[in-house]
Amino acid sequence: MMEMFSEIIAIFNRWNKKLLRQPILIFFNLIQPLVWFLLFTQAFSAIGNIPTFKLLTGTSSYITFFTAAVIIQTIASSALSAGIGVVTDFDSGFMDKMRVAPINKSSILFGRLFSAALTTILQVMIILVIGFALGVTIASGVIGIVIILILAALFGIAWSGISLFIALTTKNQEITLSVGLLTTFPLLFLSASVMPLGLLPDWVQQVAKVNPFTYIAEAVQSLIIKGFVWQKIEYALIAIVIIGAVSLGASIMVFRKKIS
């Protein structure tokens, strides 16, 4: 177990070093949340004036409500990069070296996943700082912020499994990126992330109720707006466990076949 842990740390450090050597990628990772905050909240700020908005959400500030959507979109984008990075390793021949290396092959995936989780945590911290600058307050305080970061990291790992599965199956960056984008944005807008459920059309509400983004969004929104609504947090954790069990299980199975 300790040997596998050391292997995961080594792969984890490798990915972090690769990120630090790409300052332009770091720049876009930092600027993306700011663009989302400024563009979308300014374009849809009038939503907060809808009479039932405060009744449904607990706040009349659309920026405060929309913070959860920015966090989820950022997590999904970061998770997408996990799969693309693995395709790059196959193309560069790195995986050929790992195939003959005397290490547990699962360590390669877990090292990548934990690196993506760290990136996600840093991005969410930046989002919260931007939110504070724009007047967002966290009703659940410091403990709530910690819970938001934990949920973000866990959801990032679980969602990364989907991009990893696509990447390992296709070994194609374009397909991985296309499928990732085609799933992320529809799921985001067909959830309670951008608009409270009560203001969505009936058919969208039905989709949102089986959409995992809804449960993550409602947990984060409750921590930001209302405080500790433990049922929302429990539902978010259940959604994360289900997604992670399916996506990571499938990814590990495919990866072992590809690298054996």
Is the pLDDT at 158 greater than 70, yes or no? yes
Give the Cα separation of 176 and 166 in Å (integer): 6
Q: What is the pLDDT of residue 216?
A: 95
pLDDT digits (tens, 9 = 90+) for 213-255: 999 999 999 999 999 999 999 999 999 999 999 999 998 888 8
Cβ atoms of 116 and 82 closer than 8 Å: yes
pLDDT digits (tens, 9 = 90+) for 6-19: 888 888 888 778 77
- Give the total residue count for the chain: 260
Give the Cα separation of 188 and 35 in Å (integer): 16
Percent of the chain with pLDDT over 90: 29
pLDDT digits (tens, 9 = 90+) for 87-106: 887 777 777 777 777 777 77
CA angle at residue 210 from 205 to 212, to 5 degrees?
A: 110
Give the Cα separation of 17 and 14 in Å (integer): 5
| Residue showing tokens 């866990």 | 154
Could you give the count of Cα atoms lying within 13 Å of 128 in the half-sphere of its Cβ? 22
* Number of neighbours of residue 54 by Cβ within 10 angstroms: 15
* Number of neighbours of residue 115 by Cβ within 10 angstroms: 24
Q: What is the pLDDT of residue 176?
A: 82
Any idea which of 80-84, 117-121, 136-140 has the lowest mean pLDDT?
80-84
